[in-house]
Amino acid sequence: MDHQARYREKLVSPRQAAACVKSGDHVFYGHFMMSPTFMDGYLAQRKDELTDVRVSGLCFPGVTQTAACDPEQAHFLYDDWFFGGGSRQLHDQDLCHYTPAMYRECAQVVSAYCEPDVFIVKTAPMDRHGYFNYSVTNSFHEALASKAKKVILEVNENAPVCLGGNGEAIHISQADMVVETDHRPIGEMPSAAPDEVDRGIAARVVSLLEDGCVVQLGIGAMPNLVGEMIAESDLRDLGGHTEMLVDAYMKMYESGVMNGRRKAFDKGRIAFAFAMGSRELYDFVDQNRAVASYGADYTNDFQVISGHDKFVAVNNAIEIDLFGQVCSESVGTRHISGIGGQLDFIYSAFHSKGGKGIICLSSLQGKKDGEKRSRIVPRLTPGGAVTLPRSMVQYVITEYGAADLKGKTTWQRAELLISLAHPDVREDLVREAEKMKIWVGGRNGRKMD
C-alpha cells in the first residue's frame, strides 16, 4: 500500500479521534508547542461521557481544556511533567499536578513505568516517504509513540520541519489515526524584556566564556539575554548543545559567533530537544542543517554533554540557601517549573574539560504586593524543592558578583553567597548563618571580603 493510500485510510475527523478515548484511559499529550491544542478541545467536549481519564502533558501552551472544563476532577485528572504558565494557573486552582522526572530519564520512565492508552501529538504534514516530523519538539515523543496502544497525529501544515539528529519523526505505519487541524500557526513564546540588573548578571556570565565553548541556555529571560550578549561579543567558534532552543541561538549563529567548528561531535550543528520562541526562530529551524533535533535522552545525557570540552551550562533559579542548595521549581509548595534538565547540564558541565555550570539569579525578587524578597535565603522556603543539591553547585552569579562554590566549606559557601546578596539583607543573613553555625566571620580578626 502506498503512503497516500494509508494516509487516506487513517484520516478521521477530530470527533472520531476523540471517541477512541475510553473511561479509565491514560492519555499522553505531545509536548511544548507540539501539544495537541486542537484535539484537546474535542476531548474536553466528551467530559460528560467519560470518567477517570488521566491526561499527562509537558508544558502545554496555555490552559488545558480537559483540566479547565472539569473543576471537580470527576472526569479528567491532569498532570504536567514540567509546568508552564497555564499549568501554574491550573495548579493554583488545584487542577494540575506535577510528575517529578529528570528530563533525560523520561523516555526510560515511560518505557518502564507508564502504560499510555492514547498518545496525541501535533506534527508537520507527511512527507513523500510517509514520515511526519515532530517539528520543534522531539523531547521523548518516540518513547511515547512506541509504548502507546493508540497514536493520533494532529497534523498542522504550518509546523516547520526540524532535521535530525534522531527520533525526529514518526511513520504513517506507526499511527492509528490522522487528524487535520484548523492550521493555526504553532504558538510563539516571547521573551520578557530585560532590565539593568539582568544585563549586569548576563555580562558577568559572558565574561566567563572563552573561544570554542559549547553553550547550553536554560529557560527564562536571563539565559536568553546571555545568548543575545554572546551574539554581540567578539567570542569565536562557539558551539551549541541544549535542551531548549531559543531565539538567542539563532542570533549567535547568524552573527557568526556560533559555528560549531570545535565541537567534538555534531560539528557545525546546534543540537536541541525542543524549540520555543518567535516566528523567526521557527522559520530559522525549518529544513536547516545548522540545527539537529534529538530526543532528551541524547541532549541531556551525561556522556554526551561532558564529551564536549569547555561546556558551559547557564541556568536560573528561584532561590538558593546559604548551604548552596538551589530551588528552581517552586516557591514553597506553589509549583512554578520543573526539574527539566538543570541538574543534567550543571553536573555534566563540571565534568567537561574546562567546563562551567552556572546558576544566575537576581539578588531580589518582586512580589505581587510590590515588596521585594531576597533570592538568597538562610533556608529554602518550607515546601520548596531542592533542584540542585549543594554538592553539585559550581558557579552562582548575581548582579553583585560571581562565586565558585566547588571545594568550599559550609562557612565559605555562606560567606560567598552573602557577598552576592543584596546589601540590605546581608546583615540579616549573617545573623542567620551564625545561628546555623556556618559563620566564622570576625573570628581571629578575620573579616568578610
Per the structure block, which three cell numbers stand in for 45? 467536549
Sign of the torsion formed by the C-alpha atoms of 423, 428, 434 and 436: negative
Residue 9 appears among annotated catalytic residues? no
Task: Provide the 10 A C-beta neighbour count for residue 108.
Answer: 14
Q: What is the largest CA-CA distance in the chain?
A: 85
Q: Please calculate the CA angle 341-344-349 and round it to the nearest 5 degrees.
A: 120
Round to whole Å and give the CA distance between 48 and 316. Answer: 42
Round to whole Å and give the CA distance between 337 and 344. Answer: 16
Q: Is 288 helix (H, G, I), strand (E, B) or coil?
A: coil
Sign of the torsion formed by the C-alpha atoms of 37, 38, 39 and 42: positive
Please say whether the beta carbons of 406 and 350 come within 8 A. yes
Per the structure block, which three cell numbers stand in for 68? 479547565
Please identify which of the residues 168, 243, 415, 432 carries the catalytic annotation. Answer: 243
Instruction: Find where cell 558551559 sits.
Output: 312
Question: C-alpha distances in angstroms, 256 versus 126, 171, 205, 232, 234?
Answer: 33, 36, 20, 10, 10
Phi first, then psi, for residue 32 (nearest 5°) are 50, -130
H/E stretch holding 240: strand 239-240
- What totals of helices (H) and strands (E) does the chain contain, helices first? 16, 26
Per the structure block, which three cell numbers stand in for 225? 539575554
Per the structure block, which three cell numbers stand in for 435? 545561628
Round to whole Å and give the CA distance between 29 and 418. Answer: 43
Q: Which residues are catalytic?
A: 243
